[in-house]
Amino acid sequence: MTNPMPSALFETMVSNISTGLYVVQDEKAIYLNDHFGRYFGYDSVASLIGRNLFEEVYPDRSTADFFRGIHKQMLERSSAEVSWAQLSTRCDGTPFWLEVEARLIEVEGRPAIMGTFKDQTECQLIAEAMHVSQGTLREVLDAMEDRVYVVDEDYRIVYANRKMQQGVLADIDNEPCYRVCRGLEEVCDDCTKDLVFSSDQPIYKEIFNLVTKKWFSVIEMAIRMPGHGRPTKLAVARDITSRKEDEERIRRLSHRLMNAQEDERKRLSREIHDDLGQRLNAMKISVGTLAEDLEGQTPELRQRVRALNAVLQDTIESARQISAGLRPPVLERLGLVQTIRDHCEKLAVSSGLKIHFKAPGMRDFKLDNASEIKLFRVVQEALHNVVKHAEASAVSIHLVASYPSIRLKIEDDGVGFDYHGRQFDCDPSEHLGLVGMKERVDILGGRLDIRSVAGEGTRIVVEVPCPNDYAQVGNE
């Protein structure tokens, strides 16, 4: 005879099951696992044991009778196993979708029901619930504001909810999905059907419909369509046009603010250099003249005048540095390449970094001032980050012109950081430098790629379009 399982081992196994588990007899809960409590929002299930499952434990009053009715029918008809899906709510009133599987068992020789359930609120609900309750599911899908549809391997739409049917561009029953959805005569360039069928994970993408001028966020996943023996793909498309338009307005505003900031820096730089700088130089000349007039005075007085002259000289040098920081004067006179080279040489002296800079192909043309200052700011910010955070010993900078783009690559041998290809959806206050770099590259119509792994350094690659007249220069 097999030894009975120790109760402690049984409890450990059941409590670690990832689904909610309950056992009900005479409508009383005689067993609940911890996941049951977590799904519904109970801190503990111990106080729920022995209470009426449908009146005191199950928190959704609006569906409690439905829940109880299924259990009653199972007992009356001796149904061995029943599964279904239903809307429910947690203790705090939050709605969610519940998928339930219940089976008839015996406890101490009397009938009882053991049930398990899963929270199927996410998109997976749609795929799984098709096998659970077709009628209920169709009502739910038709009530959604998202477009929900199912496509087979021949690009035929085998199901579409109400919202999808209202927005079609062709005969949904007879035309392929690329005509119905986008009004195209051939398969979409960004079609992911094959990828979806070969993956067990949802595919996320954003698409722009050229006919309707709308943006959609789309989730696609492979499903088993009841009554359809061939592979099918479920798609849920949400209209995000308003969000995209808001993002574009914010982007344009950000670009204008950045351009205004550069204009203000340029103005301040010139005022400091031309006005304040001239005034300080005039004062220095006057103090120098005063020193000559005081040759016959006491040594203490002459020393004070010399000290004042030294302070003025330091102030003049600080003003020059501030002016150059706001807008490098060499940029307008000698261009981007020489400005970067000068900046690298000065930074190498002050920081001890070995900075290797090359700019092949950049001799044949000159960028406009707005483009040059933006690319210089990217280099400036990248080198600032290297000095401040990277603990690097060497940096290489390559600025290459190769039609139709200009490519800037900055690599260091520092400690790197755990970037993992993340985009700029992080807290901007933590990465203002990176956000500023991307904004400047966006203004130039280019792209910015950052690759960094902890302990392996960082590589930044920027690609921006060449000026319109560079094609002619390069072909002469």
Identify the domain containing residue 401 by its residue range.
Answer: 333-475
The two tokens of residue 219 are 């989730």
For residues 204 and 303, membership in a common domain is answered with no
Structural domain includes residue 358: yes
For residues 249 and 233, membership in a common domain is answered with no
CA dist 148 and 342 (Å) reads 58
For residues 21 and 106, membership in a common domain is answered with yes
For residues 398 and 296, membership in a common domain is answered with no
pLDDT for the residue numbered 55? 93
For residues 435 and 372, membership in a common domain is answered with yes
CA dist 202 and 452 (Å) reads 27
pLDDT for the residue numbered 136? 65
For residues 116 and 169, membership in a common domain is answered with no
CA dist 222 and 156 (Å) reads 15
The two tokens of residue 218 are 């789309």
Share in percent of the chain as helix, strand, coil (round to 5): 45, 25, 30
Structural domain includes residue 127: no
For residues 56 and 189, membership in a common domain is answered with no
CA dist 47 and 42 (Å) reads 10
Q: How many domains does the chain have?
A: 4
For the domain that residue 36 is a member of, what is the CATH number?
3.30.450.20
- How many degrees, rounded to 5, is the angle at CA 56 between CA 55 and CA 61? 50
Structural domain includes residue 2: no
HEC readout, 31-71:
EECHHHHHHHCCCCCHHHCCCEHHHHHCCCHHHHHHHHHHH
Domain boundary among 121, 145, 162: 121
For the domain that residue 380 is a member of, what is the CATH number?
3.30.565.10
CA dist 476 and 474 (Å) reads 6
The closest alpha carbon to 395, from 335, 362, 437, 351, belongs to 351
For residues 112 and 51, membership in a common domain is answered with yes
Structural domain includes residue 126: no
pLDDT for the residue numbered 334? 79
Structural domain includes residue 386: yes
For residues 357 and 468, membership in a common domain is answered with yes
For residues 148 and 201, membership in a common domain is answered with yes
Domain boundary among 214, 239, 264: 239
Output the CA torsion sign for 443, 449, 454, 458: negative
Beta pairing partners, 204: 219
pLDDT for the residue numbered 354? 93
Q: Is 374 helix (H, G, I), strand (E, B) or coil?
A: helix
Domain boundary among 177, 207, 239: 239
Structural domain includes residue 415: yes
Structural domain includes residue 431: yes
pLDDT for the residue numbered 431? 57
For residues 143 and 101, membership in a common domain is answered with no
Structural domain includes residue 216: yes
- Block means of pLDDT (10 residues each) for the chain, 476 residues, are 50 66 93 88 91 93 89 87 84 85 90 87 53 61 85 90 89 91 89 86 88 90 76 89 84 76 74 75 80 79 83 81 73 83 89 91 74 87 88 91 86 80 47 77 88 87 77 40
Beta pairing partners, 28: 25, 52
For residues 110 and 169, membership in a common domain is answered with no
DSSP for 192-234 reads -HHHHHH-SS-EEEEEEETTTTEEEEEEEEEE--TT--S-EEE
